[in-house]
Amino acid sequence: MARLGRGNSVVRWPWVGQTVLAVVLLATLLQAQSPPSKPLPKPPATRTDNVTETLHGIEVTDPYRWLEDQEAAETRAWIAAQNKYTDALLRDRPGRAEIAKRLGEFLKVDSVGRPVERGGQYFFSKRRADQDLSVLYVRSGLAGADEVLVDPHPMSADHTTSVQWIDVSRDGTRMAYAVRQGGADEIEVRILNMETRKDLPDVFPTDRYFSFSITPDKRGVYYVRHGKEGPRLYYHTMGAPLSEDKEIFGKGFGPEKILYHWLSEDGQWLLGVLLHGSAADRTEVYLYNTTRSGPVVPVVNDIPARFFPVFAGDMLLLHTNWKAPLGRVLAASLQNPGKDNWKEFIAESNATLEDISAVGGRVIALYTENASTKVKVCDGAGTFIRDIPLPAIGTVVGMSGRWESKDVFYTYESFLIASTVMQYDVSTGEQKIWARRNVPIEGDKYEVKQVWYSSKDGTRVPMFVVYPRGMKFDGSSPALLTGYGGFSASSTPYFTADAAVWVERGGVYALANLRGGGEFGEAWHKAGMLEKKQNVFDDFIAAAEWLIANKYTNSTRLAISGESNGGLLVGAALAQRPELFGAVVCSYPLLDMVRYHKFLVARFWVREYGSAEDAAQFRFIHAYSPYHNISPGAKYPAVLFVTGDSDTRVAPLHARKMTALMQAASGSERPILLRYDTKAGHSGGIPVSKLVDKLAEELAFLFWQLDAPPSQSPSSSGRGPRSGWLDAGRRGK
């Protein structure tokens, strides 16, 4: 059953008169005589079939190994029963319809992606307010009319087939685009002839493609496909059978490696970047002269550090953390790219260098400083010119532009400003809005604060807290805490509709910048990986304790949520400190860490987590693995697990097995639920109508379990965001 709300304590006032006291006593008596809350129905029964193994001298029992078989009839029946159970508890939850309506007002607005310019044409994606999916468009010139190129809506009746553009030829006459089923990582690649507006016969079948480039002469394409043996770089001649594609590079690289490529604007040079696993602490860079068809030449393959190359005219720039934990940029000639010819282009600073782009003869550097984005523009020699002004603490996502063009496009967002695409002139520093999402939130009604707290070992950790302006800090507010803490990914301020609805209804939203991320460079990342992964969970738990100690909330009103590696985070937190939380949403999670590396592409993550096949690594993995640290009879918070069949990145078996385990083990009467979408996955592609329903269900679940009113009137009047910076951008100032 749901926890009782506040009001269980007895408050005494010496001045209360007999009449008031009588009313209080009568109310108490009536409450005592009222029927007790109806207990929740029991979850579907799940059979156990214990599989016991001895791993490195420790006996490990898995009672739900049979649920790993995703296609077995028994598993499918179990999934259907779990969805039916979740429907019974959440489908008609009070306030859900109102929440869905408000989410729709945030999500069902015109949304335009960052464009790429080729041959004077601008290619981009756009979803109108009345559409479910993004459509591919082109605009001839900045002031031209928008023309639809590919509309995915007719491709599937339920709108679970989506499209995205992945490359455009230099002259803008060919566009490669991906077709994705559900949320799977695998895509089919098609090429549109812009002159005829028809697809070419060359179709690349559904597979895992890591990069794709059309040559300037349009006679062929380079692409990286990750097969069973590992990643390989191929060249395909247009019109020829795919079976005749030429393997350029990758032979001998195993399936645990990741390979990307980049093609220079003139098509002469091709770069290959080999990663030793996701967020690898080591990458290799190779260069291939396409005009000579000679050997692939190593630029760097013998230094244990990260190197990410960027073409900048006749220069090769290397963004690296070699001898610079916070990042720097080295430069070399494409003709002589060897290490002996490297020169420092941008020195390491006191902020983390996240990315670089070469546009209009300039180099734009994106930094993370105290967990928010700073953007600097340098000239062709690496000398600082100016900062790009941003309105507030927030995040810049990507830069698109060409070395030969002065225009760069970037996307900015923050907690209270939805994604806004800006057009920036690198020669003058002028910028204006290309597109904005007009969401109905008034940012001046809310506060954004960055706080610092001490983790278990004394490490100082930052956290962003968003809440209604004027909120009373009496510990009674519902709070939603999230984080990630892995793969060197920086958690910077971003806009989400569910967080906006949460704070509108009086909630506190908190984002913790945990170790394992990249906010403070590679040292911060390494402090939260492998044998130090427990630091991430300690940081998260300390964030929860800080919110409670500072009276932002209390443990009965504190919820946590996380996805993917963040799902592992909240899974570990609920296993280690169940009394600290009232509710948990755990999405597309990793939970059985003893076996995770055996499924799908999880071999990419062994350098981050380790593997139970290694005796030393098994010890620390087994110690925190959520699936192996659930205690029978412990009083766990309410949990909603979220996953789906189309997740081809994190195996859905984690959520299936953990749901069964916790339903059997939990000693509380709080619900343990599974929402299993047979078409949803890790890579997006979900139609907006389904996204609204998904988020409404999760928020209704949280409001229910935190005993918070989901129908509190929104503070917004329905007008768009107030921001002088955005308005100035719209005027071109």
Compute the residue count for the chain. 733
DSSP state at residue 690:
H
Q: What is the rounded distance in angstroms from the CA atom of residue 653 to the CA atom of residue 644?
A: 10
Give dist(CA 259, CA 224) in Å, integer. Answer: 7
680 close to 686: Cβ distance less than 8 angstroms: yes
* Residue partners of 71: CB distance under 8 A and separation at least 6: none
Q: Are strands 283-289 and 297-300 parallel, antiparallel or unpaired?
A: antiparallel
Contact 163, 154 (CB under 8 A): no
Q: Which of 236, 276, 628, 682 is catalytic?
A: 682
Closest of 56, 28, 196, 228 to residue 613, by C-alpha: 56
Give me the phi and psi of 333, to 5 degrees please: -85, 145
> Which helix (H) or strand (E) segment is 574 a member of?
helix 565-576
Q: Which residue type occupies 86?
A: T
CA atoms within 13 A on the CB side of 19: 0
E strand spans, 231-268: 231-237, 246-249, 258-263
Between CA 687 and CA 499 the distance in angstroms is: 19
Distance CA 31, CA 23 (A): 12
- 156 backbone dihedrals φ, ψ, rounded to 5°: -150, 140
User: What's the sign of the alpha-carbon dihedral 266, 272, 275, 281?
Assistant: negative
How many beta carbons lie within 10 A of that of residue 36, not counting itself?
Answer: 6
In 3D space, the residue among 196, 185, 181 whose CA is nearest the CA of residue 149 turns out to be 196
Cβ(691)–Cβ(658) below 8 Å: no
Residue 269, helix vs strand vs coil: strand
Is residue 564 flagged as an active site residue?
yes
Compute the distance between CA of residue 714 and CA of residue 733 in angstroms, rounded to an integer.
33
Rounded to whole angstroms, how far apart are CA atoms 367 and 557? 35
Pairing of strands 174-181, 508-512: unpaired
Diameter of the chain by CA atoms? 99
Residue in 162, 488, 564, 716 annotated catalytic: 564
State whether residue 241 is helix, strand or coil.
coil
- Strand partners for 531: none
Sign of CA dihedral 363, 367, 372, 374: negative
State CA 401 to chain mean position distance: 24
What is the C-alpha to C-alpha distance for residues 429 and 469, in angstroms, rounded to an integer? 34
The answer to whether residues 98 and 426 touch, using CB atoms and an 8 Å cutoff, is no
Distance CA 591, CA 51 (A): 17
628 an active-site residue? no
Amino acid at 478: P
Measure the CA–CA gap between 387 and 328, rounded to whole angstroms.
17
Would you name the residues annotated as active-site residues?
Answer: 564, 682
